[in-house]
């Protein structure tokens, strides 16, 4: 069995997808760069100063001419990571909700477990559970249960975007990655698990948005949960090349 290379700050790329996040992206990039990470800001068709702020802060910046959505922006980032020979990539949201000081934990768990995907879960540690109630929490639980079945390992937060993805799964996602809602989170977990890639979780916090409000709603959560389950049940997700150890 081939032993995967150890991950560290030099061979891991932090991908920050952003659409009109000029109010918060500067502080997010500044903190990441102060921690000496390699950072790629993807301005996903932004019409504000998001890209300009990224350049001013000293981040690598990829400007997409049109808005592709988070999934499309991430796939562009994965392609960039592969083209520049990174061993892994980590998504960090531009709204300030993903704590940069917990990135080291993702890298450490990936190294210790050999997993291809490590999800920063808001729910795996009961002491630090995020306060999510009602239909949104139920939707997350239902999706995570089906993700558990697909991966063969307990998954509590399949919709968390705070995660590390390493080779060879990174290469597969650069070629096959959904850009629909839940495609970049839940569907990616299902696709990876069914193709034999190792997916695990580690506790992670989620900070309040630095600016603005979440667009998620109870109605949207119910609708997209049903859609996500349909994709999983009917196996309509992206098909990845199976992993062979």
pLDDT in tens, 29-66: 999 999 999 999 999 999 999 999 999 999 999 999 99
Show contacts of 181-184: CB within 8 Å, 24+ apart.
181/69, 181/224, 181/227, 182/143, 182/224, 182/227, 182/228, 182/231, 183/71, 183/238, 184/70, 184/71, 184/74
What 3-state DSSP class applies to 96? coil
Taking residues 177-204, report their average pLDDT.
Answer: 87
Taking residues 122-142, report their average pLDDT.
Answer: 67
Burial readout 80-112 (b: 16 or more C-beta within 10 A, e: otherwise): bbbeeebbbbbbbbbbbbbbbebbebbbebbbe
Please tell me the distance from the alpha carbon of residue 186 to that of residue 225, in angstroms, as a whole number: 10
Q: What confidence score (pLDDT) does residue 101 get?
A: 93
Q: What confidence score (pLDDT) does residue 164 get?
A: 98
When mean pLDDT is compared across 8-12, 32-36, 115-119, 205-209, the lowest value belongs to 205-209
Give the residue, 212 or 205, on which the prediction is more confident.
Answer: 205
How many domains would you assign to the chain? 1
User: Does residue 239 sit within a domain?
Assistant: no
Q: Which domain holds residue 120?
A: 12-233
Which DSSP helix (H) or strand (E) runs through 203? Answer: strand 199-203
Q: What confidence score (pLDDT) does residue 122 get?
A: 86
User: Does residue 6 sit within a domain?
Assistant: no
- Residue 153's pLDDT band, with cuts at 50, 70 and 90, is confident
User: Does residue 202 sit within a domain?
Assistant: yes
- Residue 133's pLDDT band, with cuts at 50, 70 and 90, is low
When mean pLDDT is compared across 84-88, 153-157, 190-194, 232-236, the lowest value belongs to 232-236
Q: What confidence score (pLDDT) does residue 111 get?
A: 98
What CATH code is carried by the domain that includes residue 192?
3.90.550.10
Burial readout 198-227 (b: 16 or more C-beta within 10 A, e: otherwise): bbbbbbbebeeebeeeeeeeeeebeebbeb
User: Does residue 108 sit within a domain?
Assistant: yes
- Residue 170's pLDDT band, with cuts at 50, 70 and 90, is very high
Map tokens 């239902």 to a residue: 142
Please tell me the distance from the alpha carbon of residue 107 to that of residue 163, in angstroms, as a whole number: 9
- Residue 92's pLDDT band, with cuts at 50, 70 and 90, is very high
User: Does residue 119 sit within a domain?
Assistant: yes
pLDDT tops 60 at residue 128: no
Q: What confidence score (pLDDT) does residue 127 get?
A: 46
Q: What confidence score (pLDDT) does residue 152 get?
A: 86
User: Does residue 242 sit within a domain?
Assistant: no
User: Does residue 180 sit within a domain?
Assistant: yes
């Amino acid at each position: 069995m081939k032993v995967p290379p150890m991950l560290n700050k030099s061979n891991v790329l932090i991908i920050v997808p952003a659409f009109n996040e000029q109010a918060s992206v500067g502080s997010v990039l500044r903190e990441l760069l102060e921690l000496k990470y390699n950072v790629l800001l993807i301005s996903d068709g932004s019409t504000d100063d998001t890209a300009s702020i990224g350049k001013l802060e000293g981040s690598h910046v990829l400007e997409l001419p049109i808005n592709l959505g988070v999934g499309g922006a991430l796939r562009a980032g994965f392609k960039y990571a592969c083209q520049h020979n990174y061993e892994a990539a980590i998504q960090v949201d531009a709204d300030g909700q993903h704590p940069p000081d917990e990135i080291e934990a993702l890298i450490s768990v990936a190294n210790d477990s050999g997993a291809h995907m490590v999800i920063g879960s808001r729910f795996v540690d009961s002491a630090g559970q995020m306060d999510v109630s009602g239909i949104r929490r139920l939707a997350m639980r239902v999706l995570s249960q089906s993700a558990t079945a697909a991966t063969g390992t307990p998954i509590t937060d399949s919709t968390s975007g705070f995660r590390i993805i390493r080779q060879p799964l990174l290469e597969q996602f650069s070629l096959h990655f959904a850009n629909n809602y839940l495609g970049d989170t839940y569907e990616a977990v299902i696709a990876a698990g069914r193709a034999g890639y190792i997916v695990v979780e580690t506790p992670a916090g989620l900070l309040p948005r630095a600016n603005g409000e979440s667009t998620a709603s109870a109605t949207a959560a119910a609708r997209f949960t049903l859609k996500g389950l349909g994709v999983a049940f009917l196996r309509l997700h992206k098909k990845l090349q199976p992993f062979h150890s």
